[in-house]
Amino acid sequence: MNSESSKCLCGSVNITATKINPKFTVCHCETCRTWGGGPLFAVQCGTDIKIEGEDKVKVYESSPWASRGFCSECGTHLFYRLNKTGEYNMPVGMFPTLKNLEMTMQYFSDKRPDYYCFSNETEEMTEADIHTYFASQL
């Protein structure tokens, strides 16, 4: 677990995360690719997050179970937050000095378009796998 601070491009928003898991995930779903222009590379940061400049953070409810936050001044994508647990996933790129980064999971692997492909060997979950997993969590 790592503790890191980061800020958006314009510096209005500062975020400190004290429990970052360096094993990061990639999401190929259409929402992530529409949001960011490509797959979302995210580290799990838990709930211990400090945000300064929160008045500049705009939150969009992208699904019934999660919302996405971005800086309303510069547009930097800040987090993906699960409604139920309040857990934050944050873009890997926000933490350039993070050590021991390792791509371990690709979500919605069946939604990946055929114009890119990673050679990293990771676990994968398809849309059906994810629905089965979340159904078992209820």
Residues at the site binding Zn ion, with contacts judged by CB under 5 A? 8, 10, 12, 27, 29, 32, 71, 73-74
Q: Which is nearer to Zn ion, 13 or 17 (CB)?
A: 13
Nearest distance, CB of residue 33 and Zn ion, angstroms: 8
Nearest distance, CB of residue 72 and Zn ion, angstroms: 8
CA distance 91 to 128: 24
Residue with the two structure tokens 């078992």: 136
Q: Which is nearer to Zn ion, 84 or 99 (CB)?
A: 84
Q: Which is nearer to Zn ion, 8 or 92 (CB)?
A: 8
Task: Give the list of residues 6+ apart from residue 73 with CB closer than 8 angstroms, or none.
Answer: 8, 10, 12, 56
- Cβ burial of 55 (10 Å; 0-12, 13-18, 19+) is exposed
Nearest distance, CB of residue 101 and Zn ion, angstroms: 19
Nearest distance, CB of residue 22 and Zn ion, angstroms: 20
Q: Which is nearer to Zn ion, 13 or 100 (CB)?
A: 13
Helices (H), 6-70: 30-36
Q: Within 10 A of 63 (CB to CB), how many other CB atoms are there?
A: 12
